[in-house]
A and B are shown apart, each in its own frame.
Chain A
């Protein structure tokens, strides 16, 4: 198994995989990289099966499971609506976690030779991580699909319950090393970890979802790597480790973009009273941080000028430079095509158009980029926060579509709010700010947005899709 030729083949496969990932610099390169990675994985499977052929008595079942599921996966993935991508990615992640769990259990309880201490320990980690990522990902997937409430669900004694579950998991893992059949200890560990993952995930919601998704991604990678240790397969260890570091990096990028620590997000259990995302469904009770009456008045035009729609149309017509800021609200309202159509119209008329994307806008890393790409935006027009923030001061119109917290100046100006210190887009610096949000409620953080009260703000509350469509009609 460890002869030079085998090692060389394994290294070659890992290099193809890494070369594939390293192509993720440009979209065109990434397309090639994705194919390379898929090829590397195919080789890894082929090599593994060549070295340890499947028993002929098992072949039919293995082939059936493989073929049926691959076909189903292909059909689902090739046809699913792109807006359901976050939910699908979470679901797939959960399937991977469950697979790692099952492999470790079969490996440890099967008829094979008694596993050593290293394999047992690795199996314990694999079972635990696999189970927790499975239940955690399924909850995340349901939240992202809108099947369960997106806002955090906190049970009484949530932290204590998590602590007790981790202690119980550790105890179950220790029991695996007792003499005799480890199966019952493994199964208990699996169930305890399932509960842990569910409790862990259910408390994270709304704007913190990108962190959860990245974190679960890292955890499945880790589960795969430990699965690789159980069966002593270098390729599996390498694949798992690469995924784990990728997920970890994304987790950290998301945390940094919110200026919060990972612990703060996963252990905070903060349950904001208002969630912008779900405001259509639940108009929550007034909360202490928001002045109950002030924001409501804003929807009545304070300016003597006519209705905000014609003001917005005028501002857009006169704009030489426009920056569009998409947020999760754009995804909910399904307003990406209208957003892009409006921007495209103005561009045809000579306006310079750019898009500014906050790193945590949406419900997964890079969510807005995918939505806008689907609506045919040239990706060269999409700018990251640091590259575009200085340009707002020389911009005629900032067009906000379903974004609140990521443009909230309170993050810079106020101390002690949940978003204080979070880097935000300087939309308020533009000469006019057109706000196409559902309502005047604060974003997920619950911090009221002072932009709404500024004289340069034009507030077009309501369904962004309809708002933008009427703007397009007016500008035609």
Chain B
């Protein structure tokens, strides 16, 4: 039960801190912000990789590999494209 409590605290605290931080992001950075948080949401890659820490039968191996590939696409693509976008913002 204490595990659940810890998880709830982590969830609530992260939501609150995230809310406070993100409320201050100016409108001009909304697309990069969304693109970056989109990449962060692919932190499911942690869970996907950890699937390989236990024994899997073949069908589950395939599903787990698909999960890793999809999450990796999101995380790598998300950070790359955010970086590209931000590089375009210039001040003369």
Which residues of A does B touch, CB under 8 Å?
2, 14, 17-18, 21-22, 24-25, 27-28, 30-31, 33-35, 37-38, 41, 44-45, 48-49, 52-55, 57-59, 61-62, 64-66, 68-70, 72-74, 76-78, 80, 82, 85, 88-89, 92-93, 95-96, 98-100, 102-103, 105-107, 109-112, 118, 213-214, 217, 220-221, 223-225, 227-250, 253, 357, 359, 364-367, 369-370, 373-374, 376, 378-380, 382, 384
Contact = CB atoms under 8 A, between A and B. Distances in A.
B81 to A, nearest CB: 4
The size class of the interface chain B forms with chain A is 35 or more
Given A237-B14, A247-B34, A24 B88 contact: no
A85 to B, nearest CB: 7
A109 B30 CA distance: 39
Contact of A27 (B29, B40, B50): B29
Contacts of A227: 44, 47
Contact of B80 (A18, A64, A74): A74
A217 B41 contact: yes
Interface of B: 3-4, 6-7, 10-19, 21-57, 60-61, 63-92
Nearest to A45: B46
Contacts of B69: 65-66, 68-69
Given A18-B17, A88-B77, A240 B90 contact: no
A378 B50 CA distance: 45
Contact of B38 (A27, A76, A89): A89
B70 A102 contact: yes
Contacts of B36: 21, 24, 33-34, 37
B49 A77 contact: no
Contacts of B50: 48-49, 52, 231, 233
Contacts of A28: 89
Contacts of A235: 43, 46
B80 A77 contact: yes
A234 B54 contact: no
Contact of B86 (A34, A59, A74, A111): A34
Given A45-B46, A61-B52, A68-B69, A241 B40 contact: no
Contacts of A246: 18, 22, 33-34, 37
Given A31-B83, A82-B85, A95-B71, A357 B27 contact: yes
